[in-house]
Amino acid sequence: MTISSDVIQSVAQQLITEHGTEHRSIIEKGVLQVAERWTEEDGTEKDFSNFCLENFISSPSERQILFERFLANLESLYGNLHRIYRDFNWHLHVDTGEILPFDRQFATYDVFAHVTDDFFKSRLAFIVLLNFPLYTLEEKETIGKKWSRREWAELRLVEQFSERIPAEIQQKRTHAYVQAEEYIYQYNIYMENVVTPEGEKIFPQGLRLISHWDLRDEIKAQYANPDGLKNQKLIFKIMERIVDQSIPRQIINNRELSWEPFSNTILSPQSGTPVTYEPEARKRYEILLQVFKVEQLVDQYTPQHPSLIQRSFERDRELSEEEVERLFTSYLSSPVLKEIADIIKHRLGRELYPFDIWYYGFKEGSDYPEEELDRLVQQRYPNLTTFQKNLSKLLQQLGFSQEKAEYLNQYIMVDPARGAGHAMGAKMRGDHAHLRTRVPSNGMNYKGFNTAMHELGHCVEQVFSLNEIDYYTLEGVPNTAFTEAMAFIFQARDLDVLGITDSHSSRKHLLALHNAWQTMEIAGVSLLDMYIWRWMYEHPDADAQQLKEATMELAKKIWNKFYAPIFGITDQFHLAIYSHIIYCGLYTPDYTLGHLISYQLEEFLEGRDFGKEVERICRLGCLAPQRWMEEAVGSPLSAQPLLNAAERAIHHYREEIST
């Protein structure tokens, strides 16, 4: 700190004398908040004192004006910058034909880059920090229970300026994550060159799988193949070799060599004789370690949250790590999972393998084959123009009143996506949310429609939580897990919109089993992600080799505790295959939370007015998660609703089999 504690105390004392002792706590907090972020470039101690003495406001009416002025100006700033960002990225995000080189240049132009810096340089950030106190997560969860929405909005305002991380540290951080991303995005395995121990090539020519997404999805796809088991075993061995790093370096992203993963032999394509090679050894964990090191650099600039674990949980999710851990372990300990495992065994007609955490048969087992669904989509929504034109009708089908459906329709623009699809909300009232989905040249198919329904959930949430919010700084939802939950709810109603209602109940049950199983898989990955970060902070001097060993040990520990009783197999470490663990810095818990939250919402919405309730819930805005949950569904975050849905589905399934 550049300001001495004597100066801090004396400034606070002068302000208390001037404004009255009833303002003591807010003054002491405010002065300290400014001092903690004041640098030499901001001025001398004298400048600091003058700034505080001139800018503290105690009159309620002046505070009100200050608060409102900041909200209005921030909405203008963020709203307009966001419009520029959207325009600059338009040709990369929206399928407008060929991408030109300067389109990419526009996309890399970061319009938000200097916002925080400029707020500190202009001292606007200090005005907020002086007048509005920050609170810890514990305070938010205890005294925050009694706060009004206005008080939450004030907190959200000052939280935007809680951190002042120097630009060069930010750049180092971005660089480390970009490097990690590059490592992950180029990690392809050319399956045409992978052979079984018998020397057989069982994958089609040209099949290139990126780790872990495509490898996992190929395991899923093979459940529909009657001979798929040997393909699955081969892919699983590849995954193990990636995690333990015995994979030959020469195989990664290289289509020249042939590889037999079980004996780990590389064969020369010309002579068919074994070739010597180097294992990858530690690279994967070196990359993760670099991410850890750069987060340690950030630690010293975030005194309220001096570790990525705290930033990720307490600051961003506003849920403590312990609380999330408890939620996930309670889910993983449920006896319901063993019952689903028995159903899967019955359906597969065999004992389970470790890779059956990716069992996909509940999804495939739906009564409607994809071609039939494609046909239905073609009939109703042959292209995006028709989809946009019928959006109001679609929303009414879901349960929104005509008036609300037309209102939403006004604010949602539908664009053809270049990628799989996404939703881009607005940042100022009156602006549009953009729903983007991919449409093949021969017209919309079921896949594109299903994505559109997911993105519609995001867009509806974005429109309500921005345009109908009482205070701008409360716009949005508590964190990403919540917006995903809202999207899942719309996505799950896709067949209703297509007019398929007869098989609704059995489909709903299959979907519950699918989601319960999928949540089991990702909950273990999330726990592993959390334990790895805990381990890194406990062993800051560890090298990549030690990190590798620790990762495998932790993965086995989680497996043996929660999965071994379900699978009857011990000592597996493939939960560590998730790429996010390496390059996303503790992102995976959001996936698990998203599934749990969506079932809590589903359970609540059952039998209620869908349109009205969704609107009411979205208008809660970004309160802290537990408060949001209480107000949304009347209970705190819980794993129980998903387990309840799974239990009902198991019951339904057993009855179906016995009849």
Q: Contact, 132 vs 153, CB < 8 A? A: no
Toward Zn ion, which CB reaches closer, 155 or 487?
487
Window of 257-265, 287-295, 486-494, 528-536 that interacts with Zn ion by CB under 5 A: 486-494
Please report how close the Cβ of residue 645 comes to Zn ion at its closest, in angstroms: 20
Pairwise CA distance, residues 448 & 115, whole Å: 36
Window of 15-23, 358-366, 390-398, 483-491 that interacts with Zn ion by CB under 5 A: 483-491
Toward Zn ion, which CB reaches closer, 473 or 526?
526
DSSP secondary structure string, 91-111? HHHB--SSPPHHHHHHHH--T
Please report how close the Cβ of residue 458 comes to Zn ion at its closest, in angstroms: 6
Toward Zn ion, which CB reaches closer, 219 or 487?
487
Please report how close the Cβ of residue 487 comes to Zn ion at its closest, in angstroms: 4
Pairwise CA distance, residues 216 & 235, whole Å: 8
Please report how close the Cβ of residue 483 comes to Zn ion at its closest, in angstroms: 7
Return the percent helix, strand and coil in the chain, to nearest 5: 65, 5, 30
Q: Which of residues 163-202 bind Zn ion (CB under 5 A)?
A: none
Q: Is 489 in the site for Zn ion (CB under 5 A)?
A: no
Please report how close the Cβ of residue 454 comes to Zn ion at its closest, in angstroms: 6
Window of 142-150, 461-469, 482-490, 631-639 that interacts with Zn ion by CB under 5 A: 482-490
Toward Zn ion, which CB reaches closer, 310 or 600?
600
Toward Zn ion, which CB reaches closer, 486 or 581?
486
Pairwise CA distance, residues 579 & 210, whole Å: 10
Cis peptide before 514 (omega within 30 of 0): no
Toward Zn ion, which CB reaches closer, 234 or 487?
487
* Angular region, 133: left φ>0, alpha ψ -120 to 50, beta rest: beta
Toward Zn ion, which CB reaches closer, 400 or 482?
482
Please report how close the Cβ of residue 462 comes to Zn ion at its closest, in angstroms: 11
Using CA atoms, how far residue 363 sits from 173, 360, 518, in Å, is 39, 6, 11
Toward Zn ion, which CB reaches closer, 426 or 487?
487
Toward Zn ion, which CB reaches closer, 115 or 584?
584
Pairwise CA distance, residues 593 & 231, whole Å: 32
> Residue 258 belongs to what H/E stretch?
strand 258-260
Using CA atoms, how far residue 216 sits from 195, 555, 613, in Å, is 18, 17, 36
Window of 4-12, 412-420, 426-434, 485-493 that interacts with Zn ion by CB under 5 A: 485-493
Instruction: Give the contacts of 30 (CB within 8 A, at least 6 positions apart).
Output: 52, 56, 129, 130, 131, 132, 133
Q: Is 236 helix (H, G, I), strand (E, B) or coil?
A: helix
Q: Contact, 173 vs 152, CB < 8 A? A: no
Please report how close the Cβ of residue 420 comes to Zn ion at its closest, in angstroms: 10
Window of 186-194, 352-360, 480-488, 554-562 that interacts with Zn ion by CB under 5 A: 480-488
Please report how close the Cβ of residue 492 comes to Zn ion at its closest, in angstroms: 13
* Residue recorded with tokens 């919405």: 605
Please report how close the Cβ of residue 456 comes to Zn ion at its closest, in angstroms: 11
Find the binder of Zn ion among 74, 137, 287, 487 (CB under 5 A): 487
Q: Which of residues 124-143 bind Zn ion (CB under 5 A)?
A: none
Please report how close the Cβ of residue 419 comes to Zn ion at its closest, in angstroms: 12
Window of 77-85, 127-135, 469-477, 481-489 that interacts with Zn ion by CB under 5 A: 481-489
Q: Contact, 364 vs 223, CB < 8 A? A: yes
Please report how close the Cβ of residue 480 comes to Zn ion at its closest, in angstroms: 9
Instruction: Give the contacts of 252 (CB within 8 A, at least 6 positions apart).
Output: 186, 187, 188, 189, 280
Please report how close the Cβ of residue 585 comes to Zn ion at its closest, in angstroms: 19
601-608's contacts with Cβ under 8 Å and 24+ in sequence apart are 601/485, 601/486, 601/489, 601/632, 601/633, 602/489, 602/492, 602/641, 602/645, 603/633, 603/641, 603/644, 603/645, 604/632, 604/633, 604/634, 605/489
CA angle 477, 480, 486 (to 5 degrees): 65
Please report how close the Cβ of residue 384 comes to Zn ion at its closest, in angstroms: 19
Toward Zn ion, which CB reaches closer, 487 or 624?
487
Window of 192-200, 232-240, 317-325, 479-487 that interacts with Zn ion by CB under 5 A: 479-487
Question: In this structure, what token pair is assigned to residue 329?
Answer: 């372990």
Toward Zn ion, which CB reaches closer, 480 or 506?
480
Distance in Å from the first CA to the final CA of the chain: 74
Site size with Zn ion, rule: CB under 5 A? 1
Q: Is 498 helix (H, G, I), strand (E, B) or coil?
A: coil
C-beta nearest to Zn ion: residue: 487
Q: Is 623 in the site for Zn ion (CB under 5 A)?
A: no
Q: Is 266 in the site for Zn ion (CB under 5 A)?
A: no
Toward Zn ion, which CB reaches closer, 209 or 487?
487
Window of 196-204, 253-261, 472-480, 487-495 that interacts with Zn ion by CB under 5 A: 487-495
Q: Is 456 in the site for Zn ion (CB under 5 A)?
A: no
Pairwise CA distance, residues 457 & 423, whole Å: 9
Window of 18-26, 229-237, 378-386, 484-492 that interacts with Zn ion by CB under 5 A: 484-492
Q: Is 66 in the site for Zn ion (CB under 5 A)?
A: no
Toward Zn ion, which CB reaches closer, 12 or 487?
487
Toward Zn ion, which CB reaches closer, 153 or 593?
593
Dihedral angle computed from the Cα positions of residues 269, 273, 275 and 279, in that order, rounded to the nearest 10 degrees = 90
Please report how close the Cβ of residue 484 comes to Zn ion at its closest, in angstroms: 5
Kindly report the three-state secondary structure assignment for every residue of 237-252.
Answer: HHHHHHHCCCCEHHHC
Contact residues for Zn ion, defined by CB under 5 A: 487
